[in-house]
Amino acid sequence: MKPFYITTPIYYINAAPHIGHAYTTIAADVLARTLRLQGRPVHLLTGTDEHGLKIEKAASAAKLSPREYADGVSAKFRELWKALDVLPDDFIRTTEPRHEETVRRAFAAMIESGDIYKGRYSGFYCVSDETFWTEKETLSGPGGGKLCPNPDCKRPLERVEEESYFFRLSTYGGKLLSHYESHPEFLAPSSRSSEMKNFVKAGLQDISVSRTKVRWGLPVPGDEAHTVYVWFDALLNYLAAAESKDASLWPPDVHVVGKEIYRFHAVVWPAMLMALGRELPGKVFAHGWWTVEGEKMSKSKGNFVDPLAVTGEFGVDAFRFFLFREMPFGQDGDFSLASMKRRYNADLANDLGNLVNRGCDMAARYLGGAIPEALPDGPLLDRAKFMAAGAAASAAIERLEFGAALHDLWTAIGGLNGWLNEKAPWTVAKTDPPKAAAVISELLWALRAIGCWIAPFMPGTSARIHERIGVPKAPWPRTPDEARPVSAGAVKKGEPLFPRKA
């Protein structure tokens, strides 16, 4: 069976990783974990984007050679994924021979086919975005200078006048539009598709794919005065990684990217693949952006949030949870320590943590710590409805609707809390101990399922819940039967999973 191939963007290494980077990669990891729990083979790719002027400048500011600089920052990204419980199957660097070889071959093949030709570029270049702009597209700045039209950038642009290779993007408009039509799931979320379609319908220009002024890059095959434009280079990482591991991985099932790089992934990249005669990815999904305390994160404001600072205070799982609970995937949202704390206390300490604690404490007290072999006759809980929440969450994750998945799960957790208060086994125990025991064992059964369902978002917490209720390893239950209680598990009382934050 072909592994489900998921990619994140490869990250620029001109700055230390921040919560925006963590967002894309954790999203991909949540999807990967969900599919793995269902027993499907998955291949998750991430990596670092190491060529281009931006990196050359960052290296020189750090007084290092680009390669030394790249080695250091790329390693930081790898360590970050480990610290955030992200499990990539492959990590590609654009300075690796396997990547460089693919770029060289692709460039040469496209020169050969006529999809790349030599011309002269005259226009503007944004070093920060590594993006070319025509004069018409730019904004006017002070003193007649031109500014980057990306609303999140607006930095001064460099005027570029040079010989350049061009990719014949203009010839792919019709083919792209018919692909969008025949594959309605390709552009996602659907709210972003009209923007891409309109951009293509307005007419595509050929794009410059080489630079003569950038030395830190791959030489154009046969013409070393030019280096390959960093985006042409970077996009090919998805193909290079697949070809070097297992050719049957191709095509990717989903590229998860941020909205600001959607055009590269939804227009330029599929056109490049068409030129190369390769199959297109199944889906290109654009997520929204985080601001911090209402402000865009930027070097000038110095307000980048280091994910490790957040996890140091709240734990890895609370951070992974917050990212997807707080804003729907695909929309923009705001990060603040105050909202993180609010969610932590309400959803994790109160709703989930207390429920687990109550279940384990009561099991210790009324069941002697043992999980009963069989479920009570009941049903005391609407089991079908409860199980439907897990199935709905899993289906939502497959649609990359992570917020909806957590909403379903927390509705089920809220429902369990309400049900428990209504059944009040601590009171019933005084008059009808078997009935109280039945409610508690039903609760443990439900906690086992909750422990499974939260695993993609909160792998550590999932394991701790299962450990506490004496289920060392649990598969993903899709039906009540699969979620049957294990025999003779020992329930443990323990510390709160999420101690309240003052």
Q: Which is nearer to ligand ME8, 48 or 441 (by Cβ)?
A: 48
Name which of 11 and 319 has its Cβ closer to ligand ME8: 11
Determine, following the binding rule CB under 6 A, whether residue 320 of this chain makes contact with ligand ME8.
no
Closer residue to ligand ME8, CB minimum distance, 11 or 324: 11
DSSP code of residue 157: P
**Binding to ligand ME8 by residue 9, rule CB under 6 A?**
yes
189 binds ligand ME8 (CB under 6 A): no
In whole angstroms, give the CA distance from residue 307 to residue 387. 33
**What is the helix (H) or strand (E) element at residue 360, kind and residue range?**
helix 354-366
C-alpha dist (Å) from residue 173 to 199, 205, 274, 314: 10, 9, 11, 47
Question: Min. distance of Cβ 338 from ligand ME8 in angstroms?
Answer: 18
End-to-end CA distance of the chain: 50
Distance of alpha carbon 194 from its chain centroid, rounded? 23
Residue whose CB is less far from ligand ME8, 27 or 483: 27
Check if the beta carbon of residue 199 is closer than 8 Å to that of residue 34: no
Separation CA 261–CA 263 (nearest Å): 6
**Which residue, 73 or 387, has its beta carbon nearer to ligand ME8?**
73
Asked whether position 10 contacts ligand ME8 by CB under 6 A, the answer is: yes
Contact call for residue 24 and ligand ME8 (CB under 6 A): yes
- Confirm or reject binding of residue 49 to ligand ME8 (CB under 6 A): yes
Q: According to CB under 6 A, which one of 188, 228, 257, 439 is a site residue for ligand ME8?
A: 257
Per CB under 6 A, does 258 bind ligand ME8?
yes
For residue 62, count CB atoms less than 10 angstroms from its CB and return exposed for 0-12, middle for 13-18, buried for 19 or more: middle
DSSP 8-state symbol, 136? G
Residue closer to ligand ME8, measured from CB, 52 or 489: 52
If binding is defined by CB under 6 A, does position 29 make contact with ligand ME8? no
Q: Whole-number minimum distance, CB 12 to ligand ME8, in Å?
A: 4
Where in 400-439 is the site for ligand ME8 (CB under 6 A)? Answer: none
Q: Structure tokens of 1?
A: 């069976």
Instruction: Assess 329 for contact with ligand ME8 (CB under 6 A).
Output: no
Positions in 276-315 near ligand ME8 (CB under 6 A): 289-290, 297
Write down the least CB distance from residue 9 to ligand ME8, Å: 4
Contact between 81 and ligand ME8 per CB under 6 A: no
**Per CB under 6 A, 234 contacts ligand ME8:** yes
Cβ atoms < 10 Å from Cβ of 171: 15
Q: Name which of 258 and 390 has its Cβ closer to ligand ME8.
A: 258
| Whether 85 contacts 454, CB under 8 Å | no
Q: Name the region of 447 (left: φ>0; alpha: ψ -120 to 50; beta: rest).
A: alpha
* From 230-238, 349-357, 367-375, 467-475, span contacting ligand ME8 (CB under 6 A): 230-238
- Least Cα distance to 256 among 206, 348, 156, 324 occurs for 324
For ligand ME8, the binding residue among 3, 4, 5, 11 (CB under 6 A) is 11
Query: Torsion angle, CA of 196/197/203/204, rounded to 10 degrees?
Result: 40
**String of DSSP letters for 212-270:** SS--SSPEETTEEEEEE-HHHHHHTHHHHHHHHH-GGGPSPSEEEEEGGGHHIIIIIHH
Q: In the structure encoding, which two tokens stand for residue 281, read together? A: 């990815």
Between 122 and 331, CB nearer to ligand ME8: 331
Q: Which residue is nearest to ligand ME8 (CB)?
A: 258
What is the size of the binding site for ligand ME8 (CB under 6 A)?
19
Binding site for ligand ME8 (CB under 6 A): 9-12, 20-21, 23-24, 49, 234-235, 237, 257-258, 260-261, 289-290, 297
